[in-house]
Structure 1
Amino acid sequence: MTLVQGLDYTSVFIFGLTGALAASRAQLDIVGFLFLACLTAVGGGTLRDVLLNRDQLFWIADPGMILSACVAAILVFFTAHFLESRLRALEWLDALALGVAVPAGVGVALGLDQSWPIVLIMGVATGTFGGLMRDVVCNELPLILKKGELYASAALVGASAALLAAKFTTDSLIILTVCGVTTVALRAGSIRFGWCLPVYKSRPPRQ
């Protein structure tokens, strides 16, 4: 298994957990759990692979990815009631998943020798699109759109950190670790300490 495949498997499982937690908050049945877990787990990677015109979508090339998401769904179905706050657990798991999925997207793009703007876009898309789909289906305000939240911005900075690291080393493990740590640190700071971007505030028109 390659490093990128390992990252894909990890992000699929963790994002699957977040999709299942969203299903538990919506009080869905087991089929709803499986659907939301799989949708969240493979959404970002699917968009990445389609845009990069890869030979096969990553979960079609390796159906074990879907199995991993289903395991996550079943696990949450039987254990979610033990959590004190499923929303809080979802936010922290989502932050962890973001820190794994962004390096996966960056790694695939770098492996295909894409230009730096495409590397950034693939990192952000892989990290955020599954969660976006999850929140839209559950009729929730997507995390990516919450006021000032360091979410897409955390993914963007993480992908940028990977490009910067690539200037100094060709070791993909170092490059993707820098990407993941940067992404998680920023997202965790937003959750724990309220780090945020400035938001637009309307002003009265000039007379």
Structure 2
Amino acid sequence: MEILPILSYLGIFVFAVTGVLKARTQRFDLIGAVILSFVMAYGGGTTRDLLIGIRPVSWINDNFAIILVLIATIVTFFFKLDFKVIKKLLFWTDAFGIGFFTIVGLQVALQAGISEGYALIMGVITATFGGLLADILCNSVPNLLKPGELYATACLIGGALYLAMEFFKINHEISMIICVLVTATIRIYSIRKKLQLPVV
């Protein structure tokens, strides 16, 4: 099996879990958790597909992805955890989720014939817009807009590094894995060290 579908399903599962954890911090019921789970898992990819003209959007005919989201939702919802543990899990799942979805979004855009610069933007949108929509539904300031998060910036750096490695003909699968790890590492490091871009 190719590595791209694996990364895509990992991203869907991880962001579905993240959606349920977000729902728990807001004390949503099971339906609210399912909605937030789907928004996290599919929001960014749907936005990307609509922008680049993929019809139908990628998840419509993917039964395995939908089952994966439902399993992640049900298991996470009924697995009771302490609030501090939930916050730590959110921290890790969100970081690796944006890593997975950055490379997936970038690859989907490249395969659709989008130029490298715009494909990089599509990678960032895929990684961040699910969380953006979920935060809006939770009536909180999206992580994408918060200082000290380096949310989209981490995706840009990881995606740009992947494109650079592709230019220098480094092994394709290794380049994808490095993109995920670099994106997640920058995200984790920026939060722990409270790094931020200049404030307007």
TM-score bracket, normalised by the shorter chain, equals over 0.9
Instruction: Provide the secondary structure at the position in 2 that maps to 1:129.
Output: helix
Post-superposition offset of 1:30: 1.0
Residue 28 of structure 2 is matched in structure 1 by 28
In structure 1, C-alpha distance between the alignment counterparts of 2:172 and 2:129, rounded to whole Å: 24
Instruction: Report the Cα distance in structure 2 between the residues aligned to 1:2 and 1:48, rounded to whole angstroms.
Output: 21
1:135 and 2:135 equivalent?
Answer: yes
Contact 1:148/1:198 (<8 A) preserved: no
Q: Give the residue type in structure 2 aligned to 1:56.
A: P
Aligned partners of 2:75 and 2:83: how far apart in 1? 13
The question of 1:8 aligning with 2:1 is answered: no
**Any conservation in 2 of the 1:11–1:41 contact (CA below 8 Å)?**
yes
Task: Give the corresponding residue for 2:45.
Answer: 45
Between the aligned partners of 1:101 and 1:70, the Cα distance in structure 2 is: 19
* Cα distance in structure 1, aligned partners of 2:80 and 2:53: 37
User: Quick check: 1:154 aligned with 2:154?
Assistant: yes
Give the direction of change, closer, same or farther, for the CA distance of 1:199–1:128 in structure 2 (3 Å limit): same
Give the TM-score of the pair, scaled to structure 2: 0.93
Letter of the 1:131 counterpart: G
Contact 2:38-2:69 within 8 A present in 1 as well:
yes
* Bigger Rg, structure 1 or 2: 1
Partner SS for 2:87:
helix
Aligned to 2:108: 108
Q: For residues 112 and 59 of structure 1, what CA distance do their matches in structure 2 show?
A: 16
Residue type of the partner of 2:32?
G
Which deviates more from structure 2 when the two are superposed, residues 110-119 or residues 97-106?
Answer: 110-119
Once the 2 structures are TM-superposed, how far is the Cα of residue 198 of structure 1 from its aligned partner? 2.3
Task: Give the secondary structure class of the aligned counterpart of 1:58.
Answer: coil
Equivalent residue number for residue 181 of structure 1: 181
TM superposition shift of 1:111? 2.1
Q: Which amino acid aligns with 1:75?
A: V
> Which whole-Å CA distance do the structure 1 matches of 2:189 and 2:81 have between them?
27
Distance 1:97 1:145 in 2: 17
Q: What do residues 10-59 of structure 1 show as CA deviations (whole Å, max 9, x unaligned)? A: 11110001100011111111111111101111111111112221243221
In the superposition, relative to structure 1, how do residues 170 and 50 fare at CA in structure 2: closer, same or farther (>3 Å)? farther
Partner secondary structure for residue 109 of structure 2 = helix
Q: Distance in 2 between matches of 1:110 and 1:132?
A: 23
Q: Is the 8 A contact 1:99 1:179 kept in 2?
A: yes
Q: Which runs of 5+ in 2 are unaligned?
A: none
In 2, Cα distance between the equivalents of 1:195 and 1:173?
30
